[in-house]
Structure 1
Amino acid sequence: MIVEMLKSLTRDSEVLVDVSLRDNQIELLIGDNYLISKLIDGKYPDYTRVIPQANSKVLISPKYDLKLVLQRASILSNERFAGAYFHLTLNQLMIESSNSEHESSKETMVVEYTADDLKISFNIAYLLNILAVIDSERVYMALEAPESSVLITPESSSGISTKYVLMPMKL
């Protein structure tokens, strides 16, 4: 939340931010805006436990193409859940969505995928949020089973390893 506030307060120009640390709080002075936040002292959760380590099925897709297909599928997805089925077969991904008015969308795209066939469902909005912040031209999705979390990574040559974990949903 603090990061979002800083972005909105410093959006239009270069702004000097005065940062002060106290025993249990941080204070930020940005122009005429003053922000105080309580610091929490505690053990940080072991986030590495939720990052899939052994997902053996890898999907490689052009990010832009996947984003366009998902945007089209979201138009006819259920407004409440925004879910879509992913049907993975040899070098092919079919994305299917439907809504309560019995309208549906089904679109197929070429991807790199050579593992066993897999049918898995995702919240389209969550996946689009991930794709929106990935800068690479291709995206890697490491999958295992319909109920297993998916590890999403950008194609990177910079040596920086950014990882996104997405849980599938049941439709």
Structure 2
Amino acid sequence: MKFSIERAALLKAVSQAQSVVERRNTIPILANVLIEADGSHVSFRATDLDIEVVDKVDAHVEQAGATTVSAVTLHEITRKLPDGALVQISDDAALGRLIVQAGRSNFSLATLPKEDFPVMSSSEYSANFSAKAPALRRLFDKSKFAISTEETRYYLNGVYFHIAEGEEGRMLRAVATDGHRLARVDTELPTGAEAMPGVIVPRKTVGEIRKLLEDDDAVIAVSVSETKIRFATPEITLTSKVIDGTFPDYQRVIPSGNTRKLEVDASEFARAVDRVATVSSERSRAVKLSLDEDRLVLSVNAPDAGAAEEELAVAYADEKLEIGFNAKYLLEIASQVDRENAVFMFNSSGDPTLMREGNDTSAIYVVMPMRV
């Protein structure tokens, strides 16, 4: 195998590959990237047995072939090469070495046989459809903060990606919850997605997909089966197993009878929460919201550290209410608001609170209160 490739193209492909690779693994081949050169393309394939990413890059291929080499080492070398360098890569099968040359730099890296590299079996997908990158990015970006990190409730360790009945008919929906807060985000249903089974996309996969969705003009081919999900652009294909579990009935926890309405400037609110939370102990981080006509007082009382209070002018016309929340949860939810105003719907100090952006119901958030 012998080919030459632009440093920038190599870096992009190898950085995608090395982020999938598990740093701590007991199977040496899983630390490697499979490099396959053929025609005018080179593909870089990496896997941790749950996710597989294949990045296809244009290159000048002199001799077709394939081998595997440490993904992290190749990434570090490429990262440190000068901008604009032309990188020449060849393998010496007799010595079991991969030769990387750029300018006056010369590296010889240990390889492992390509035959040992595990390739994820392709499955039959029950739904295949295309979606615009910004629509998918919004679904995952706005919901991922609520993914649970608790391993015992493994079925909450991802985003539930499914079709649901929205206010305007059937929608493509992403939901994540950890039991304390919940995010539900809708977008219009793409053609061909009607038969899509509901799947739980793992946290790590959600992070990796994000890299495919950077380009606003990109159209992503999505394929879904009961056990796998695949996202593909012409250059990159990311295939992942989905979490084998049943996502709970989240509709039950979304309050529908909350009538007390607070409207507040989202960024102003987030900054105020952040300021008053500075004095609270990390452990509880509870912020009290005291609501009265058109005024909100945020306060924190941490006996060991001190107290803080800040008043905001808001739109609120209901009876007085005092309610407490975890400051981190409030900040994360407020940071999802793209418009100016966040609308909070309360019931009582012990009931879940609903938050949305203005009158837009395509993204709603639920947060459980805390005793303060």
- Match of 1:165? 366
Correspondence for 1:40 among 244, 247, 250: 244
- Match of 1:151? 354
Return the alpha-carbon distance in structure 2 between the equivalents of residues 133 and 34 of structure 1: 26
- 1:55 is paired with a residue whose SS is coil
What does residue range 24-39 of structure 1 map to in structure 2 within 5 Å? 24-26=227-229, 36-38=240-242
After superposition, give the CA deviation of every residue in 1:42-71 in whole Å (9 maximum; x if it has no partner): 5x5322111111111100111121111111
Correspondence for 2:336 among 121, 124, 133: 133
After superposition, give the CA deviation of every residue in 1:114-145 in whole Å (9 maximum; x if it has no partner): 11100000011101101111101001000011
Matched, 1:52 2:52: no
What does residue range 14-93 of structure 1 map to in structure 2 within 5 Å? 24-26=227-229, 36-38=240-242, 40=244, 42=246, 44-93=247-296
Question: What amino acid sits opposite 2:369 in the alignment?
Answer: P
Return the alpha-carbon distance in structure 1 between the equivalents of residues 226 and 266 of structure 2: 45
Structure 2 unaligned segments of length 5 or more: list them: 1-202
Q: Figure out how many residues of one structure are paired with residues of the other and give that number.
A: 167
Question: What amino acid sits opposite 1:40 in the alignment?
Answer: D
- 1:152 is paired with a residue whose SS is strand
- Match of 2:188? none
Conservation of the 8 A alpha-carbon contact between 1:79 and 1:99: no
Return the alpha-carbon distance in structure 1 between the equivalents of residues 240 and 256 of structure 2: 38
Does the C-alpha gap of structure 1 residues 54 and 12 become closer, same or farther in structure 2, counting only changes over 3 Å? closer
Conservation of the 8 A alpha-carbon contact between 2:267 and 2:335: no
Conservation of the 8 A alpha-carbon contact between 1:78 and 1:100: no
Return the alpha-carbon distance in structure 1 between the equivalents of residues 245 and 305 of structure 2: 51
After superposition, give the CA deviation of every residue in 1:14-50 in whole Å (9 maximum; x if it has no partner): 99988776663346689799654245365x5322111
Return the alpha-carbon distance in structure 2 between the equivalents of residues 22 and 51 of structure 1: 28
Question: What amino acid sits opposite 1:37 in the alignment?
Answer: K
Return the alpha-carbon distance in structure 2 between the equivalents of residues 24 and 119 of structure 1: 46
- Match of 2:50? none
Question: Which has the higher relative contact order, 1 or 2, with Cα contacts under 8 A spaced 6 or more apart?
Answer: 1
- Match of 2:310? 107
Identity of aligned residues (%): 23
In terms of fraction of residues, the more strand-rich structure is: 2
- 1:163 is paired with a residue whose SS is strand
Question: What amino acid sits opposite 1:64 in the alignment?
Answer: S
What TM-score do you get using the length of structure 2 for normalisation? 0.40
Return the alpha-carbon distance in structure 2 between the equivalents of residues 74 and 133 of structure 1: 19
Return the alpha-carbon distance in structure 2 between the equivalents of residues 154 and 38 of structure 1: 30
Deviation (angstroms), 1:99: 2.5
- 2:363 is paired with a residue whose SS is coil
Structure 1 unaligned segments of length 5 or more: list them: none
Conservation of the 8 A alpha-carbon contact between 1:153 and 1:163: yes
Question: What amino acid sits opposite 2:278 in the alignment?
Answer: I
Deviation (angstroms), 1:82: 1.1
Deviation (angstroms), 1:5: 2.3
- Match of 1:4? 207
After superposition, give the CA deviation of every residue in 1:73-110 in whole Å (9 maximum; x if it has no partner): 12112211211111101111000013242411011111
After superposition, give the CA deviation of every residue in 1:141-162 in whole Å (9 maximum; x if it has no partner): 0001110000101014xx6521
What TM-score do you get using the length of structure 1 for normalisation? 0.81
Conservation of the 8 A alpha-carbon contact between 1:84 and 1:121: yes
